[in-house]
Structure 1
Amino acid sequence: MDTESTHSGYSYHSSRSGRSNRHGDRSRERHKASSKDSIRSERSVVINPPDSPSQESPVHNGEPLPGEPSPGADPGDDPQDDNWGETTTAVTGTSELSISQEEVVGLGKEIQDRTQGFRRYLPLAVGLCVGLLVLATPLVFLLLPVVMWPDRLQACGTACEGLFLSIAFKLLILLVAIWALFLRPGRASLPRVCVYRAFLTTLTLLLTMSYWLFYGVRILDAQDEDYHGIVQFAVSLVDSQLFVHYLAVVLLELRHFQPCYSVCVMRSTDGETRHYNIGQLSIQRAALSILEYYYRDFPIHNPALLSASKHRAAKHLAGLKVYNVDAPGSTAGAQPGNGNQSRTMVTTAGKRKDAAHNELYYEEADYDRRVRKRRARLVVAVEEAFTHVRRMKKEDERTTPSDIMDVREAALAIFPSMARSLQKYLRTTRRQHCHSMESIQKHLAFCLVNNMSPKAFLEAYLAPGPTLQYGPERWMADQWTLVSEASVTSGIKEGTEFLLRCLDFSLAITIKGIPYIRITEEYIDPKSHKFLLLLQSETSV
């Protein structure tokens, strides 16, 4: 403990003395950058999809594949240990009063979860209160005169009973319509309030308050005795509420159905691109629709492939050596005989740079060869395992029911025969972090229960699937940041560009308008297709 404290204190004072000279320059640069960040922060807003786990690291939960390397490791380096297992990292501290980084992150995440829960359920609570006000107001209009001055009311007989029946069914229809449109669980937490929802809520409140004002002045204060007129007044309120709900259906559901714009979505890391057609939406609603398309259509983001390309580029750059021959303190300046040697080394490095494309070509060819070889081994191993299961199934049909093996036990029994081939293939294709041992065994049991072929089992591993095919820990849907020059509540238009950023990458979105299509008709005379075939009577016989 004392030794650790001494070393830490020494490193602190030494680093402090090294940073003291640069403190003034950094403070001025930080002051200049703060003004730019304040302007840029006004353009960045956050989209938080609900019920999605946060992703703190690109590793999977559960048991990893055997011999699983780091995402940036070379797939050609096979590990020595092929056993299934886990690695654990322990972090120790030197003070009982100190707060670890994990506790600080957990505290921040807890506060963020509370804020997200409040923002998620606040619109639902407001919609529920407005819905109760809308449904209770007509009933209160009918009951108040009966309670306050029942002896002075004029009986309306059958006419009022028919209006009561009409109000009952209209309120029932309005209740179901409000539940279907407004009381649905939210799909995401948008950074700004939806303009159309706020407009409809305000319109509903204004309509209800106007009826209450007229009811208080003309009916309650005057103690109107015409109960038939009061009932018709309540019926008119219910009719107005139904028309407002129809307007909500048009603005919130039907307006964006007709495609008006073509959206180009490009992932920043690997350049994966998709194109979609959307209708009249605001920027934040368009971002939400694009994220839904992304999880459905885009293949899962694999940082291991990017780290491999960076490793290859760093290896090529490491071979380049450049010397400043004309420098006064250089070796070439001190020894005249070394000048030609330095120039020769620069020339050799340039030739090596020119030959980099050949090295890349042979590396990719070798990679494709290893992938095909390990894929063939995997296919053969899986086919043999499924053949063994079919043979065991035929043998079980001739045995007693007590000796029949369960599907889970059968999957555990045949899994070791294909585990090594599957492990090497996933490690070669750098997708070992996407599949845990538990998920593979569960998928194998599912294929055995439904009597699927080996090809159906391998389809999930031979090619990368969409993001939703994998577990929620791989979605990276905890937080998206929307960066836009224009206001996120404004509608999209031709040339609109914005950015969706997450932890490891970003999506660049470009909006193009679908052109106006004009189709003309051209009439073709049917007689123009007729022709006459003349045959000669003379033959060559």
Structure 2
Amino acid sequence: MDTESTYSGYSYHSGRSRGSHRHGERSRDRHKSRSKDSSRSEKSVTINAPPAQPLLGDQTLRGDETQDDNWGETTTAITGTSEHSLSQEDIVRISKDLDDSVGLDCGRYLAVSLSVLLGVLVLLTPVAFLLLPRLLWPEKLRACGTACEGLFIAVAFKLLILLLAVWALFLRAPRAALPRIFAFRALLATLVLLLVLSYWLFYGVRILDTQDEDYQGIVQYAVSLVDALLFVHYLAVVLLELRQLQACFSLCVTRSTDGQTRHYSLGQLSIQRAAVAILENYYRDFPVHNAALLTASKSRPAKNLGELKVYSVDGPGATGAAGAVGISQSQSRAMIAAAARRRDSSHNELYYEEAEHERRVRKRKARLVVAVEEAFTHVRRVQEEEQRKAVAGEGMDPREAAQAVFPSMARALQKYLRTTRQQHCHSMESIQQHLAFCITHGMTPKAFLESYLSPGPTLQYSRDRWLSRHWTLISEASVTSSLTDGTVFLLKCIDFSLVVTTKKIPYIKLSEEFIDPKSHKFVLRLQSETSV
């Protein structure tokens, strides 16, 4: 479970890869020295939290190449049943899943194995304390009275309570693989191990060597061990669960690409545990990252600069040094003036581009809403006819109904997703599954369209797109240190990074001010001339 942290700095790449061997050695030496100097200022550790492929980026593009991009035009209705067969895509997915299952982290199983061995040792030690005298020198033991037999019952129930408490607190599936060891958990494990070893040492010296005849004292000794273990479990509850409940810090999480920001309140946690908590909330709260929207905004400045043209007024006949200087100066002034004019008119172009895009989105949306409503109306009409017939075996399965009505809305849905640049987030199979789900549960067309009209959180999309996302935790401070005011760290993945800034919640001081109840009373004086 524990992995070593990787120290990395800025990487310097040489542009002359085909140089001489001596030049390559010098560049490698400079690269090593610079990497060594930069590693002192920045620490980078890896955190595998909720472990899969990025939702967008190169891997998504490669995965979408096998999908027909024109499914809106080529989709046909399926009215009958068909045989299920494994396609090439299914075989590749199965092989990939097998490869991922083989390459699991061995450190996690090692930590789980050590924890299980320690738990078995803890639970069997009191039982061994009671059984060893009965097996080694039973003829020398004194008779155990009523009080001793009552201690047997106490030991049995305390061990049962301890077993249930350990199961509730520790035997849970890990939510993430931390880059560093969990300090409090390691401290508790060390404390339990020292406690058990101390009891075994005392038991071996004072009871096994001397063959103590007082069996009631031996039973009380086992009871004291179980009581100590229960107190250690109480300490574990305080350190692992209760200590972090009180909110002490406000964490501002900003996505580096589009600036999406969320705020979370956390308690006394280490940096790596705070990173895990943020990632768990990220998949639920942040809208899905769409890189296609970012590339569209970057193309405008390059387009504007590429359209600039400079013409020589003097013509190609101007020669000489003075003529060359004059031409260069005139070209520079012309480019500056053209750039200024382009900058003045760029806001108008941006305004009209956004207005045109909004008009197209509203148009596609209206067509999509009408197509979906007609499809749901057709499904509802078919269901009503089947209910009137009341003939068993003639009804359509929700999956078949979804496949039958999907072609009527496929083209409108595909055009809308292309206009809003969401076509890579929804496949034809996922849309049909969602449609079948809505038909099964009697949902309205608006409920079906909500998943496509507005971008949802990352967990809303297909599982194979986000399950094994790999995150890197970058922090100047040690990841096992607690959060402090002003702590800044990054959670970096392939497509973007999350910048986390920590602010301490201020100390709140309330004061009480007494208000006399008589101060709220007033006297209404009426004149006799009034009509009141």
* TM tier relative to shorter chain: 0.7 to 0.9
Q: Give the Cα–Cα distance (whole angstroms) in 2 for the partners of residues 224 and 197 of structure 1.
A: 37
Q: How far apart, CA to CA, are the structure 2 residues paired with 1:448 and 1:363?
A: 38
Query: Residue 484 in 1 paired to residue 486 in 2?
Result: no
Q: Kindly indicate whether the alpha-carbon contact (under 8 Å) linking 1:494 and 1:512 is maintained by their aligned counterparts in 2.
A: yes
Q: Which residue of structure 1 lines up, in the alignment, with residue 368 of structure 2?
A: 378
Contact 1:63 1:437 in 2 (8 A): no
Contact 2:75 2:410 in 1 (8 A): no
Q: Tell me: CA distance 1:417–1:21, structure 2 relative to 1, closer, same or farther (3 Å).
A: farther
Q: Tell me which amino acid in the other structure corresponds to 1:185.
A: A
Distance 1:331 1:321 in 2: 23
Q: Secondary structure at the match of 1:482?
A: strand
Q: Which has the larger displacement, 215-224 or 523-532?
A: 523-532
1:213 corresponds, among 164, 187, 201, to 201
SS of corresponding position for 1:45: strand
Offset, 1:37: 4.8
Which residue is equivalent to 2:181?
193
In the TM superposition, 1:17-28 aligns within 5 A as 26-27=27-28
d(CA) in 2 for partners of 1:435, 1:84: 15
In the TM superposition, structure 1's runs of 4+ consecutive aligned residues that sit over 6 Å from their partners are 15-22, 322-325, 328-332, 335-339
Match of 2:343 in 1: 353
Tell me, yes or no, if the aligned pair for 1:128 and 1:183 is still in contact at 8 Å: no
Amino acid at match of 2:35: S
1:134 and 1:330 map into 2 onto residues whose CA distance is 94
Question: Which of 124, 129, 149 is 2:117 aligned to?
Answer: 129
Partner of 1:33: 34
Preserved contact between residue 142 and residue 230 of structure 1 (Cα < 8 Å): yes
Question: Aligned partners of 1:62, 1:531: CA distance in 2, in Å?
Answer: 80
Post-superposition offset of 1:61:
6.2
Q: 1:297 is aligned with what amino acid?
A: D
Deviation at 1:156, TM superposition (A): 1.7
Q: Does 1:394 align with 2:384?
A: yes
Given candidates 429, 433, 443, the residue that maps to 1:442 is 433
Q: Distance in 1 between matches of 2:428 and 2:375?
A: 17
Return the alpha-carbon distance in structure 2 between the equivalents of residues 242 and 209 of structure 1: 16
Find the counterpart in structure 2 of residue 73 from structure 1. Answer: none
1:522 alignment partner in structure 2: 513
Shift of 1:505: 0.6
Alignment-derived partner of residue 352 in structure 2: 362
Alpha-carbon separation, structure 2, partners of 1:24 and 1:361: 54
Tell me how far 1:311 sits from its aligned partner.
Answer: 1.7
User: In 1, distance between residues paired with 2:530 and 2:343?
Assistant: 76
> Which residue does 1:244 correspond to in 2?
232
Displacement of 1:30 in angstroms is: 2.6
Deviation at 1:360, TM superposition (A): 1.2
Q: Say if 2:108 is the partner of 1:120.
A: yes
One-letter code aligned to 2:291: P
Q: 1:348 offset after TM fit, Å?
A: 2.3
Separation of aligned partners in 2, 1:405 and 1:62: 33
Whether contact under 8 Å (2:53, 2:465) holds in the other structure is no
Question: For 1:295, which of 280, 283, 293 is the aligned residue?
Answer: 283
* TM-score relative to the length of structure 1: 0.84
Fraction of identical pairs, as percent? 60
Structure 1's 152 and 22: CA in aligned 2 closer, same or farther, altered over 3 A?
closer
Question: SS of 1:57's equivalent?
Answer: helix
Q: Deviations over 1:9-35 (max 9, x none)?
A: xxxxxx987788975774465344332
- Provide closer, same or farther for how the CA distance between residues 117 and 54 of structure 1 changes in structure 2, counting only shifts above 3 A: farther
476-485 or 437-446, which deviates more: 476-485
**2:59 aligned partner:** 57
In the other structure, the counterpart of 2:4 is none
SS for the counterpart of 1:402 is coil
| Structure 2 residue 496 is matched with structure 1 residue 495 | no
Matched residue SS, 1:82: helix
Report the equivalent of 2:142: 154
Kindly state the Cα deviation for residue 218 of structure 1 after the two structures are TM-superposed. 0.5
| Amino acid of the structure 1 residue aligned with 2:226 | V
Contact 1:266/1:274, CA 8 A, preserved across alignment? yes
- Looking at structure 1, the residues matched to 29 and 109 of structure 2 have their Cα atoms a distance apart, in angstroms, of 44
- Aligned partners of 1:261 and 1:512 also within 8 Å: yes
Q: Distance in 1 between matches of 2:221 and 2:332?
A: 98
Answer with 48-57 or 457-466: which moved more. Answer: 48-57
Q: Which amino acid aligns with 2:227?
A: D
CA pair 52-153 structure 1, distance change in 2 beyond 3 A: farther
Are residues 1:280 and 2:268 paired? Answer: yes
Q: Is the 8 A contact 1:127 1:182 kept in 2?
A: no
Letter in 2 for 1:127: S
CA deviation string 1:393-421 (max 9, x = no partner) = 22222223333222111111111111111
Q: 1:244 to 1:321 in 2, by over 3 A?
A: farther
CA distance 1:381–1:164, shift in 2 (3 Å): same
Inter-partner Cα distance in structure 1 for 2:327 and 2:285: 63
Q: For residues 128-147 of structure 1, what are the alpha-carbon distances to aligned partners after superposition, in whole Å with 9 as ceiling and x for unaligned?
A: 11100000000000000010
- How far the C-alpha of 1:472 sits from its partner, in A, is 2.3
The structure 2 residue matched to 1:453, chosen from 436, 444, 448, is 444
Cα distance between partner residues in 1 of 2:322 and 2:307:
20
Give the C-alpha shift of residue 324 in structure 1.
12
The match for 1:427 is: 418
Q: TM-score, normalised by structure 2?
A: 0.85
Structure 1 unaligned blocks of 5 or more:
1-14, 69-80, 91-101
Q: Does 1:537 align with 2:525?
A: no
CA contact (8 A) 1:260 1:277 kept: yes
1:414 aligns with 2:405: yes
Q: What is the alpha-carbon distance in structure 2 between the residues aligned to residue 50 and residue 341 of structure 1? A: 56
Q: Aligned with 1:355: secondary structure?
A: helix
C-alpha separation between the residues in 2 aligned to 1:267 and 1:447?
A: 33
Give the 5 Å matches for 1:81-100.
82-83=73-74
Of residues 514-523 and 56-65 in structure 1, the stretch that sits farther from structure 2 once superposed is: 56-65
**Which residues of structure 2 form unaligned runs of 5+?**
1-15, 77-87
Which digits, 9 at most, give the CA deviation of each residue in 1:49-68, with x for residues without a partner?
35545776124569746438
> 1:361-393: per-residue Cα shift (whole Å, max 9, x none)?
111111111111111111111111111111122
**What secondary structure, in the 3-state scheme, does the structure 1 residue paired with 2:74 have?**
coil
User: C-alpha separation between the residues in 2 aligned to 1:122 and 1:181?
Assistant: 19
Question: Is 1:262–1:511's contact at 8 Å kept on the other side of the alignment?
Answer: yes
Query: Is the Cα contact below 8 Å between 2:283 and 2:459 reproduced in 1?
Result: yes
Seen in structure 2, the aligned counterparts of structure 1 residues 351 and 44 have a Cα distance that, compared at 3 Å, is same
Aligned residue identity for 2:428: M
Q: Report the counterpart of residue 231 of structure 1 in structure 2.
A: 219
Distance 1:274 1:27, change over 3 A: same
Aligned CA distance change for structure 1 residues 336 and 46 (closer, same or farther; 3 Å): closer
Give the secondary-structure state (helix, strand or coil) at the position aligned to 1:58: helix
RMSD of the TM alignment (CA)?
3.2
Q: Amino acid of the residue matched to residue 380 of structure 1?
A: V
